Amino acid sequence: MTVRLRGILRFSMLLLACACGLSAQSRNPADLAPGKLLVATRNLPDSIFAKTVILLVQYDAKGAFGLMLNRQTKVPVSRILEEDSAAASDPNPIFVGGPVSIGTVFALARAKNKPNGATSVPGDIFFISTKTALDGMLAHGPTPATLRLYAGYCGWDPGQLDGEVLRGSWYIFSGSENLAFDAKPETLWARLIRKADHGDLLKAALVSRVPAHSVGK
């Protein structure tokens, strides 16, 4: 192997390591799973989902269910749940979780132990869909770092989301535990899409540097 080829291979391996560490994203439907993040690509044609970041709560043979993480409103929880005494003094804003069942409230909680009535999402995140479970969390005076409420949800029929990923509508990101409760949700999409762009550039550079012929002779 020549010195030049050895240098190319070392450079390629460095690029691959950087791409994996920097982006941690995929465009492979096989990577879809509960706890993964969907990040809308720049060319997503659907204006409802443009520039959105969605946490997948459910993904199985029945379809997919998720919540938008970056559509924070200025409406306090207390106004949406004004008839609920547990939320009467909650000043935290509610999020738009998605276009489906916008009149229904869901929640994500972050806790060391599973709250009663909640459904586990990978890591220390839990999904809440019942009034009893939600009232239990609200009674403890939660903060935006431990509980977030969402009006509506995002839903896909079986195979529908897979097709959207194949058409290039979504990046799939791992590491949702911190991002689900990100302190600056309004900039979350911009930060993640920059990582995706950088990852794509590095991968393209890697492919262009790898020799097309065998180097083992």
Asked whether residue 205 carries a pLDDT value surpassing 80, the answer given is no
157: exposed, middle or buried (C-beta count within 10 Å: 0-12, 13-18, 19+)? exposed
In a domain, 169, yes or no: yes
In a domain, 130, yes or no: yes
In a domain, 212, yes or no: no
The Cα–Cα gap between 55 and 68 comes to 6
At 19 the pLDDT is: 42
* Reported pTM: 0.81
Percent of the chain with pLDDT over 70: 76
Of the listed ranges 70-79, 134-143, 150-159, the one predicted with least confidence: 134-143
In a domain, 8, yes or no: no
Query: Could you read off the pLDDT of 83-111 as tens digits, one per residue?
Result: 665 665 667 889 999 999 999 999 999 98
Query: Residue 146's domain is classified under what CATH number?
Result: 3.40.1740.10
Asked whether residue 209 carries a pLDDT value surpassing 80, the answer given is no
Query: Could you read off the pLDDT of 2-52 as tens digits, one per residue?
Result: 545 454 444 444 344 444 443 468 999 999 999 999 999 998 877 899 999
Number of domains in the chain: 1
In a domain, 18, yes or no: no
Percent of the chain with pLDDT over 90: 55
Q: Are 87 and 77 in contact (CB under 8 A)?
A: yes
At 37 the pLDDT is: 96
- The average pLDDT across 201-213 equals 49
In a domain, 109, yes or no: yes
In a domain, 27, yes or no: no
Per-chain mean pLDDT for the chain:
82
Structural domain range at position 143:
32-184
In a domain, 192, yes or no: no
Three-state secondary structure string covering 41-97: CCCCCCCCCCCCEEEEEEEECCEEEEEECCCEEEEEHHHHCCCCHHHCCCCCEEEEC
What is the sign, positive or negative, of the torsion defined by CA atoms of 90, 96, 102, 107? Answer: negative
Residues in CB range of 59: below 8 A, 6 or more apart: 32, 33, 34, 36, 65, 161
